[in-house]
Amino acid sequence: MKILVTGAVGFIGSHTCERLHDLGHEVVGLDNFNNYYSLALKTLNEKALLQKGITVIATDLRNQDLAEVLPKDINYIFHFAAQPGISASSTFEDYFTNNIIATKNLTDYALQCPNLELFVNIGTSSIYGLEATFPETEVPKPASYYGVTKLTAEQLVLQKSREQLFKSCSLRLYSVIGPRERPEKMYTKLIACAFNGDAFPLYQGSATHLRSFTYVGDIVDGIVSVIGKEAKLDGEIINLGTEVEHTTQDGIEAVEQVIGQSIKIDHVKARVGDQLRTKANIDKAKQLLDYNPQTTLLEGVKAQVEWYKANFV
């Protein structure tokens, strides 16, 4: 299969590229290499992909001439590229253009791919809202620009299934952790603070927030398992994550246990729109994808600490 992966040098996208390549597929990666976070990390991820012989195209999905720079003999599209998370430095326009306009342009390009078997949108539990403990049939109540625009992007993709223009599905991911996690995300920041002696900024009230912290390898297991199942997945929304819940405090203690030292904490003002609880309901993923995440929180943290030590210490 020839597979296009957008957001290819990002955290989960780069892992997915490598797994697809290892499964014998021809992978074409796309990324706009924006400066939302350090380009050094994106360059590090790109280097790992290039060493495997994976093509990486630098282009922005907000450009409308995608068919001029991307191949049209694509069999699958995995769409990770997005303006991520909740950030005070990101404007509504950032979310709107990167998550909605970019996705619309990508679906227009997909219509020009005659061999396309499945368009896989990568969604998020933030679509559900402040609590994400529900099955896929729950009415979404996103509480951030990120969640609102990711919901819109998801519907733009699924619309094409309803119009029977191409087969598509959306995977809603839950609190992914592991090697290559972005620097502003919780575990990379905790690990960096531990090694550098800095204080970790803990948002007020967040120590008791519950999360389905899911190891990236388990997430990628679910993502790649869609291949060959396009007929039964067409038009479907599927949650991917672990059913095991941990508090933010559990996460802090896991990093302290692995590294062997305490982490200084700086209590800061709570973030508007931050989720209070995520617990992945994966009954549908078990049924349709035979999905079965197994990695424990401590195992995931150990792998992430080793990656950080190998690259940044």
Q: Within this chain, do residues 198 and 96 fall inside the same structural domain, yes or no?
A: no
Q: For residue range 49-81, what is the model confidence (pLDDT) as tens digits?
A: 999 999 999 999 998 889 999 999 999 999 999
Q: Tell me what pLDDT residue 224 has.
A: 98
Domains: count for the chain: 2
* pLDDT of the residue at 286: 98
What pLDDT digit, counting tens, does each position of 3-56 carry? 999 999 999 999 999 999 999 999 999 999 998 888 899 999 999 999 999 999
R_g (Cα) of the chain, nearest Å: 19
Distance CA(255)–CA(252), nearest Å, equals 5
Beta bridge partners of 76: 3, 118
Domain CATH for 197: 3.90.25.10
Residues 254 and 164 in one domain: no
> Helix, strand, coil proportions of the chain in percent (round to 5)?
40, 20, 40
> Mean pLDDT score of the chain, rounded to an integer?
95
The pLDDT tens digits of the residues spanning 99-146 come to 999 999 999 999 999 999 999 999 999 999 999 999 999 999 999 999
C-alpha distances in Å from residue 123, one per residue of 153, 208, 227, 284: 8, 25, 17, 15
Q: Are residues 121 and 197 in the same domain?
A: no
| pLDDT on residue 232 | 97
Check whether residue 301 and residue 172 sit in a common domain.
no
Q: Where does the chain show beta strands of DSSP type E? A: 2-6, 26-31, 55-58, 76-79, 118-124, 131-132, 168-173, 176-177, 200-203, 210-211, 214-215, 237-240, 246-247, 265-268, 277-278
Q: What is the mean pLDDT of residues 276-300?
A: 96
Is the pLDDT at 196 greater than 90? The verdict is yes
Distance of alpha carbon 221 from alpha carbon 132, whole angstroms = 21
Instruction: Please give the pLDDT value at position 313.
Output: 85
Taking only the tens place, the pLDDT of each residue in 152-174 is 999 999 999 999 999 999 999 99
Domain containing residue 76: CATH number: 3.40.50.720
Same domain membership, residue 190 and residue 107: no
Sign of torsion over alpha carbons 243, 303, 150, 230: negative
Asked if residue 205 and residue 163 are part of one domain, the reply reads no
Q: What is the pLDDT of residue 206?
A: 87
136 with 264, same domain?
A: no
Domain membership of residue 79 as a residue range: 2-177+214-243+284-289
**Distance, first Cα to last Cα, the chain:** 38
List the one residue out of 87, 16, 20 whose CA is nearest residue 272: 87
pLDDT at 255 over 90: yes
Residues 80 and 166 in one domain: yes
Stated length of the chain: 313
Asked if residues 201 and 263 have their Cβ atoms less than 8 Å apart, the reply is no
Q: Are residues 20 and 114 in the same domain?
A: yes
**Residue 219 pLDDT greater than 90, yes or no:** yes
In this structure, are 106 and 9 located in the same domain?
A: yes
23 and 122 inside one domain:
yes
* Residues catalogued as catalytic: 146
Question: Does residue 119 sit in helix, strand or coil?
Answer: strand
Distance between CA atoms of residues 150 and 170, nearest Å? 11
pLDDT at 5: 98
pLDDT of res. 287 = 98
